[in-house]
Amino acid sequence: MPAVGTYVAPPPHRPPVSARQSTVCAVVTALVATMLLFVPAGTAEAAPTLLSQGKPVTASSEENAGTPASSAVDGNTTTRWSSAHTDPQWLRVDLGASARISQVVLNWETAYGKGYRIELSANGSDWTTAYQTTTGDGGTDTVDLTGEARYIRVHGTTRGTQYGYSLWEFKVYGETGPGGPQLPGGGDLGPNVHVFEPSTPGIQAKLDDVFKQQESAQFGSGRHAFFFKPGTYNNLNAQIGFYTSIAGLGLKPDDTTINGDVTVDAGWFNGNATQNFWRSAENLALNPVSGTNRWAVSQAASFRRMHVKGGLNLAPAGYGWASGGYIADSKIDGTVGPYSQQQWYTRDSSVGGWTNGVWNMTFSGVEGAPATGFPNPPYTTLDTTPISREKPFLYLDGSTYKVFVPAKRTNARGVSWNGTPQGESIGLDKFYVVKPGATAATINQALSQGLHLLFTPGVYHVDRSIEVNRANTVVLGLGLATIIPDGGVTAMKVADVDGVRLAGFLIDAGPVNSPTLLELGPQNASADHAANPTTVQDVYVRVGGAGAGKATTSIVVNSDDTVIDHTWVWRADHGEGVGWETNRADYGVRVYGDDVLATGLFVEHFNKYDVEWYGERGRTIFYQNEKAYDAPNQAAIQNGDTKGYAAYRVDDSVDVHEGWGLGSYCNYTSDPNIRQDHGFKAPVKPGVKFHSLLVVSLGGMGHYNHVINNTGASTVPAGTSTVPSTLVSFP
């Protein structure tokens, strides 16, 4: 391990992939209609059979009558298929039945593919990438695969010459025959999903019983989800504790009305709400008893798709400390009062008013939001949100459970549920309902069959990565379902495919260091997902706190166009397994993909950089950060000639980047004499812009010399007064 303070260069944004790999392992998925089965590499003992010769074949184009598509599968190396002289082009073979594919051989003519993908499909229309390269150099390519499908194609993306694509032969090897038992979709949701209807007896008693268990169980193993069927519920006060979610089962919030409150307060912590984490409220209409509902939370506590027919108080009783939170796709008819909340982000909503702000109140696409006035008042307001797509959610269609996947919106403003909600409904029978005790192998088998994942409330240990390889896969957690990687594996990896939705779960680092915890796309990701981006919503990462945990980097974003919508990535500063080296975690979030958007980014306490950005045209709307409390001394965070690692660093190679409403706070409790040269670091270029920046020393426990680079006032003159240094714009 390098000495503390020594800069470790990150991997390149687009590392080359060898075009001549003798073995390329891939987990391949397709739609459930073909019942694809995960087959671990090396399990087949029979010799593979040439499956493609003489099979029906089609192509995107044929250069002329003398080079038809059929020539690529005729077994004759003196005949060939060639395409038109444009990109992209493809050649598709129908194997006639589902087969377990083990190897593909491409015998290129002079006109070869420099960039191409090998793709598999169940039905000939929905494709999964099994292999891709951007550095092909012609000749003969042999690629080993592991997967099952009926259709296979080579999809050329970049020609190696001025001509088209030309193949003497396209050979597919594998086996046919039964693929083994299939996992069922659907099923019951387990004992910790509590479903009510208006006639259910004892609702309040059940709510109270779970709250008693969860009120102060900050690092406990209990997980619960409350669901209310459409209808009206009277005289309820649902107090929401740790790892507890409450939601309506209608398609719209007003389908399910509670005449009462959904409450979060901080009595368990003497009126201090700064540790009210890991809970949620969603898809309900509320008529608060007093006219105002109390939702005194801090990080990792989302308030989504809610209709409050009154006001909303974001502070605890007594107006004790609270450190920030998130509202999206919600309508608050009355006034929102943040009071003691230090910062807050509200997106695509409607409010009747907003009373005050402490340091950083950021709004995008919010009807009724106050105008920008940063730093006094501390409001930063964008009229619209550039790209948004609301979180998937469980609902009832009659008596049938389905998951609604909202449509993407561009330049959104206001809630998404006025009128008919736009999006897709997916029946629960298309989901593998994951329950505690499920193994990673079983979960991956379900994914390989084409099933989505619905994690029921619980804690899940995985001894290998969960591999999400199919476009448009939904991975939805209930009750803050928690995934713990064992043995230093990466908890979850997402392929470079369109439209994956990850939502509603927590990844908790294990005691053996993981190089990463969540990977969105491989290092060589290059596909354009602008029309259908992957979204990451209410997905949280924790390193330490519940026990010793380690991870070099928590989240790596390689796929272009990814939307991160509300995450809290946290190296623990309290709980069990906490210490400068005990829960070592150097980097929080690293972004290599282009055109990545973060809306509501909370990242805290990492040993080095909390956020690093290498991709072009990245945007962040609202960022909240605290530097690591437990740095033992100045030397521990020395970064070459620089004092401290920036909370948010944009790499010098980046030409275009923009951020709004970004704050960083230091609280160096181990050594108050520590100095940070700056909270933010970015290249000085016309395309790199920041709006509404601030840094704060909490009670004089350490200080910042500047806000960004060498610009912005030091916090030293503020002493112990906890007054931020601000910068309206940069450069």
DSSP assignment letter at 526: -
Structure tokens at 335: 């006034």
Task: Name residue 250's amino acid.
Answer: G
Q: CA 315, 319, 323, 326: dihedral to nearest 10 degrees?
A: 10
In the residue annotation, 519 being an active-site residue is answered as no
Distance, CA of 369 to CA of 363 (rounded, Å): 7
Give the rounded distance of the alpha carbon of 513 from its chain centre: 21
Inter-residue contact 72 to 155 (CB < 8 Å): no
Inter-residue contact 496 to 527 (CB < 8 Å): yes
**Neighbour-count burial of 407, counting CB atoms closer than 10 A to its CB (0-12 exposed, 13-18 middle, 19+ buried):** exposed
The closest of 679, 622, 674 to 648, measured between CA atoms, is 679
Question: Looking at the DSSP assignment, which residues form a beta bridge with residue 173?
Answer: 50, 103
Spell out the alpha helix ranges (H) of 409-502.
Answer: 440-448
Q: CA 338, 341, 347, 352: dihedral to nearest 10 degrees?
A: 0
Element containing residue 234 per DSSP (H, E): strand 231-239
Distance, CA of 299 to CA of 322 (rounded, Å): 9
Report the DSSP pairing between strands 423-427 and 400-406: antiparallel
Distance, CA of 388 to CA of 676 (rounded, Å): 34
Return the beta strands (E) in 291-378 as ranges: 292-294, 301-304, 307-308, 311-313, 325-328, 331-337, 343-347, 350-354, 360-364
Distance, CA of 608 to CA of 644 (rounded, Å): 8
Element containing residue 226 per DSSP (H, E): strand 224-228
Looking from the CA of 469 toward its CB, the CA atoms found within 13 Å total 30
Distance, CA of 115 to CA of 90 (rounded, Å): 12
DSSP assignment letter at 40: -
Q: Which residues, at least 6 apart from 66, have a Cβ–Cβ distance to it below 8 Å?
A: none
Structure tokens at 618: 């990245």
Looking from the CA of 218 toward its CB, the CA atoms found within 13 Å total 20
Inter-residue contact 676 to 705 (CB < 8 Å): yes
Inter-residue contact 538 to 504 (CB < 8 Å): yes
DSSP assignment letter at 206: H
Distance, CA of 294 to CA of 313 (rounded, Å): 5
Catalytically annotated residue among 45, 576, 626, 658 = 626
Structure tokens at 681: 């670091």
Give the rounded distance of the alpha carbon of 279 from its chain centre: 17
| Residues assigned a catalytic role | 626
